[in-house]
Amino acid sequence: MSEKILEVEMVTPEKISFREQADFVVVPAFQGELGVLPDHAPCLVQLKAGEVRVKKDEKVHHFAISGGFAEIKKNRVSLFAETAEMAGEIDSERARQALERARAEIRKEGIDPLTLAGAEAAIRRAQIRLQVAAKISR
């Protein structure tokens, strides 16, 4: 009998950025990290900005995503994300600059709530990118 395996795909509005087999996937669900093994119950999960880990044998791919949905069905994990970058694709200097820009934004006096929320989200995206960039896929 062949071993059960997951088919994982990462889809963004720009492209299908990744399609691989895996034996374990961890996604940043709103309720906390969700680990998915083969034969997981079908479900639709809302994702927040965070790290996705896709493990196959001893190799782990790390992604930074900025929110979306995961659909788990028949050993297929489809990740629909607003943005997604694999660890090795992340430009850390760009993320540091985005972090600085957003931090400067929230220090401004009289900042309106919408701008503040946008700057806070940008800080979160940049911090995740820096955290994931430090874990180049092994």
Interface contacts to ligand ATP, rule CB under 6 A? 14, 66, 83, 85, 89-91, 94-95, 98, 122, 125, 129
Report the Cα 118 to chain-centroid distance in Å: 18
Q: Which residues pair with 63 in a beta bridge?
A: 52, 86
Smallest distance, ligand ATP to C-beta of residue 16, A? 14
End-to-end alpha carbon distance in the chain: 29
Diameter of the chain measured on Cα atoms: 65
Contact of 29 with 105, CB cutoff 8 Å:
no
Nearer to ligand ATP, 9 or 89 (CB): 89
Smallest distance, ligand ATP to C-beta of residue 45, A? 21
Nearer to ligand ATP, 12 or 72 (CB): 12
Smallest distance, ligand ATP to C-beta of residue 98, A? 4
Nearer to ligand ATP, 4 or 94 (CB): 94
